[in-house]
Amino acid sequence: MTRPSPFSVRGRRALVVMREEREISIVRRQLNRLGMTVAEHDPAEVPPPDENVDVIVMDADSIPIKSDPARAWKVHAPIIALIGTETPSRLKWLLDLQPASFLIKPLRSAGLYTALVVAFDSAQRRIDEAAHLERLEDRIRSRRMVLAAVLQTMRAHDLSEPDAFRLIRQTAMRHRTTVEQLSAEIITTGGMPNRTTRTA
Amino acid sequence: MMAGEMRKSALMAIDEINGSDEFDFTFAAHLRDPGGVVAAYHTACDDLIREEQVDHIVGCYTSASRKQVIPIVERTERLLWHPARYEGFESSDNVIYVGAAPNHNVVPLVRHMLDQIASDVFCIGSNYVWTWETNRVVREIVTSAGGRILAERLLELGETAVDHIVSEIIERKPPAVFNTLVGESSYSFIRALHEATMRAGLAIPMLSCSLCEPELELIGSVASVGCVASSAYFESIEGPANRAFVARWKARHGADSNPCVDGLSTYVCVMLLARAIRRAGSAEVGAVRRAAANHRYDSPQGPVWVDPDNNHCFLTPRLARSVPGCQFKIFWEADAPERPDPYLSNLDLTAVGTRLERSNDAMTKRSNHLRIVK
């Protein structure tokens, strides 16, 4: 899968969650210049489903902190927060949304493109990091299986623990598989697989 | 109500300056009333600057309105003289903040509560930025002192259906109620709480950092008694400057009329502006800002001056209890005007203290940073 460059924003879809028409018009105009499509959403309403949204431009001041809409904003699309009030109570609410980037009000035409690029980049990094974390967690979960396979190999071949692990690792390399997958096979088949052909 | 009080006070200050030999210039007032409609503040301010060529703007009560005006005064290099207390976390070069910063009103009130009343508190407020931020500060101080926030109830601005919250308070009997409601919500709540506590035979202290004298009248002479309030100004401040101010106020607005903190603060805005112009020899914004810095004015609320580090004012914090007659009796004031700390960066939570002893002996309660007057 080729990932989109954070610098190319044309064709991406923005959801604008803002209250003041003067500021909305600045954002709308700039997003249109960049070739993005723009939808608007009333901050007083609960958030819409976000599958058709690539980025959310949200006026943080437009949503009362302690309200149903405020609690419902747990979305997957990256959020660009527009900040007018820098009080910790407001910022705490914002941090819970994990904004991908932000802009300080009053808005100007400059700055929005940077905020978009940072938002798309950090959203992609977040996806990459989540996938990386998932792989690491998989490996941690399979530690128990590797341990069981090592013990079984020690018994079956009368080997020390380092030798048993070395044998599993070498076999896994020969079979072009991972230690974790081979360990699962050892446990299910009850012994070292007798494959000589390489699984390519 | 506040807008009217602030306008009356600004015009009074302008008339005094125009009638005084101390100033070799006069002020011409250009009035605009956006009527609390947030977007209208931008238009009104733009109009004042473009059409009337105004250099200095006095006004804005809410933070929402101030944030409409700030971009324009910053872009056009004008000065907004802001009279109202607010939640802090702002510091524009083009605003002179004359109202209390949170270290002037919230912090002393919470300290007093922890020292003298209770360490557990029930919070009720209007659902907007001032309450959110004030409650956050209350929570931070209270929990670091080992106390608890028993509840945090919010009402929409203007909401007067308060019975469910009053019932909850009567049922749970918190040792203190911290009230950051504003306007009609607050008056309805205080009346209802007073009635319910009387009926239940309870005495639950209620604290506020916004109540002022004209509001006590609106609440009613009976229900308004006994509230603990924190403010930089009360009508009952002793001293010739305030006594003379109150006399002038009553001569102008009637014997039944009472000045309040937001009105007085607006008066102080105009006076600080006039003194800065006189000192600068010009109304030019840069010169006035420089001249206002550290230039002490002995105002009805005591000495006031602008801290050039953050454009907020040195003010004297005071605590008072409302008494019959819709007045406040001051029971504590700071030794000297306190440096404004809009970001509460000098708030030392370790100094706030430990959990209040569960003892009724007042001598065992800590009060090393509070001085009782009278």
Please say whether the beta carbons of A172 and A181 come within 8 A: yes
DSSP letters, A112-158, are HHHHHHHHHHHHHHHHHHHHHHHHHHHHHHTHHHHHHHHHHHHHHHT
Q: Where in chain A is the domain with CATH 3.40.50.2300?
A: 13-130
B212 and B179 assigned to the same domain: yes
Determine, for residues A65 and B39 on separate chains, whether the beta-carbon distance falls below 8 Å.
no
Q: Please give the residue of chain A at the shortest CA–CA distance from B157.
A: A64
* Residues of A in Cβ contact (< 8 Å) with B127: 64, 66-67
B180 and B274 assigned to the same domain: no
CA distances from B77 to A2, A194, B56, B142, B287 (A): 49, 83, 10, 41, 12
Tell me the mean pLDDT in the region A4-27: 92
Q: Which domain holds residue B35?
A: 2-101+237-314
Distance in Å, alpha carbon of A61 to nearest chain B alpha carbon: 9
DSSP letters, A20-69, are -HHHHHHHHHHHHHTT-EEEE--TTSPPPP-TT-SEEEEEGGGS-SSSHH
The structure tokens listed for B186 are 């607050």
The answer to whether A65 contacts chain B (CB < 8 Å) is yes
The answer to whether A61 contacts chain B (CB < 8 Å) is yes
Determine, for residues B42 and A22 on separate chains, whether the beta-carbon distance falls below 8 Å.
yes
Determine, for residues B133 and A67 on separate chains, whether the beta-carbon distance falls below 8 Å.
no
Distance in Å, alpha carbon of A68 to nearest chain B alpha carbon: 13
pLDDT for position B368: 47
B116 and B264 assigned to the same domain: no
Coil vs helix vs strand at B300: coil
Residue B351 lies in a domain: no
The answer to whether B136 contacts chain A (CB < 8 Å) is yes
CA distances from A170 to A164, A166, A175, A182, A185 (A): 10, 6, 9, 10, 15
Best CATH choice for the domain A13-130 from the list 3.40.50.2300, 2.60.120.460, 3.40.50.300, 3.90.1200.10 = 3.40.50.2300
B226 and B337 assigned to the same domain: yes
pLDDT band at A49 (very low <50, low <70, confident <90, very high): confident
Residue B362 lies in a domain: no
pLDDT for position B283: 96
On whether ipTM exceeds 0.90, the answer is no
Domain count, chain B: 2
pLDDT for position B334: 97
* A142-189 CATH fold: Arc Repressor Mutant, subunit A (1.10.10)
Tell me the mean pLDDT in the region B133-155: 96
Distance in Å, alpha carbon of A88 to nearest chain B alpha carbon: 7
Q: Which residue has the tokens 């994990």?
A: A98
pLDDT at B302 over 90: yes
Determine, for residues B89 and A88 on separate chains, whether the beta-carbon distance falls below 8 Å.
yes
Q: How many CB atoms lie within 10 A of CB B151?
A: 15
B296 and B308 assigned to the same domain: yes
The answer to whether B42 contacts chain A (CB < 8 Å) is yes
* Residues of A in Cβ contact (< 8 Å) with B92: none
The residue among B314, B335, B357 that closes a domain is B314
d(CA B6, CA B61): 9
B contact test, residue of A59, A61, A85 with most B CBs within 10 A: A85
pLDDT for position B371: 57
Distance in Å, alpha carbon of A179 to nearest chain B alpha carbon: 51
The answer to whether B128 contacts chain A (CB < 8 Å) is yes
Distance in Å, alpha carbon of A77 to nearest chain B alpha carbon: 26
Please say whether the beta carbons of B134 and B209 come within 8 A: yes
Please say whether the beta carbons of B60 and B66 come within 8 A: yes
B140 and B225 assigned to the same domain: yes
Phi then psi for residue A58, to 5 deg, are -120, 125
Share of chain B above pLDDT 70, in %: 94
B88 and B152 assigned to the same domain: no
A 19-48: CB under 8 A from B: 20-22
Tell me which DSSP letter residue B51 carries.
T
DSSP letters, B315-338, are B--EEEEEETTTEEEEEEE-SSPB
B219 and B241 assigned to the same domain: no
Helices (H) and strands (E) in chain A, counts: 7, 5
Determine, for residues A90 and B90 on separate chains, whether the beta-carbon distance falls below 8 Å.
no
Residue B356 lies in a domain: no
* Residues of A in Cβ contact (< 8 Å) with B135: 89
Q: Where in chain A is the domain with CATH 1.10.10.10?
A: 142-189
d(CA B254, CA B175): 40
pLDDT for position B373: 61
B91 and B120 assigned to the same domain: no
The answer to whether A106 contacts chain B (CB < 8 Å) is yes
pLDDT tens digit sequence for B1-28: 788 999 999 999 999 999 999 999 999 9
Out of A21, A89, A105, whose CB is closest to B133?
Answer: A89
Out of B64, B89, B154, whose CB is closest to A87?
Answer: B89
- On average, the pLDDT of chain B sits at 93
Out of A67, A85, A92, whose CB is closest to B129?
Answer: A85
Out of B39, B63, B136, whose CB is closest to A89?
Answer: B136
Task: Please report, for the domain that includes residue B62, its CATH number.
Answer: 3.40.50.2300
d(CA B259, CA B262): 8
B330 and B301 assigned to the same domain: no
pLDDT tens digit sequence for B241-275: 999 999 999 999 999 999 999 999 999 999 999 99
Determine, for residues B132 and A84 on separate chains, whether the beta-carbon distance falls below 8 Å.
no
Determine, for residues A20 and B71 on separate chains, whether the beta-carbon distance falls below 8 Å.
no
Please say whether the beta carbons of B205 and B228 come within 8 A: yes
Q: Please give the residue of chain B at the shortest CA–CA distance from A91.
A: B133
The answer to whether B7 contacts chain A (CB < 8 Å) is no
pLDDT at B360 over 50: no
Give chain B's radius of gyration (CA, Å).
21
Determine, for residues B67 and A20 on separate chains, whether the beta-carbon distance falls below 8 Å.
no
Q: Could you tell me which residues come within 8 angstroms of residue A5 by beta carbon, excluding any fewer than 6 positions away?
A: none
Distance in Å, alpha carbon of B27 to nearest chain A alpha carbon: 31
The structure tokens listed for A1 are 């899968």
pLDDT tens digit sequence for A129-173: 999 999 999 889 889 999 999 999 999 999 999 999 999 999 999
pLDDT tens digit sequence for B152-173: 999 999 999 999 999 999 999 9
Tell me which DSSP letter residue B56 carries.
E
Coil vs helix vs strand at B18: helix
The answer to whether B331 contacts chain A (CB < 8 Å) is no
pTM above 0.90, yes or no: no
Distance in Å, alpha carbon of A191 to nearest chain B alpha carbon: 60
Between helices B102-112 and B129-144, what is the axis angle to 10°?
Answer: 50
B258 and B145 assigned to the same domain: no
Residue B367 lies in a domain: no
Residue B357 lies in a domain: no
Out of A66, A86, A87, whose CB is closest to B154?
Answer: A66
Q: Please name which of B329, B305, B266, B291 lies closest in space to residue B85, comparing C-alpha atoms.
A: B266
pLDDT for position B357: 47
Out of B42, B70, B129, whose CB is closest to A87?
Answer: B129
A contact test, residue of B41, B69, B129 with most A CBs within 10 A: B129
B269 and B247 assigned to the same domain: yes
d(CA A54, CA B372): 60
Q: Which residue has the higher pLDDT, A89 or A69?
A: A89
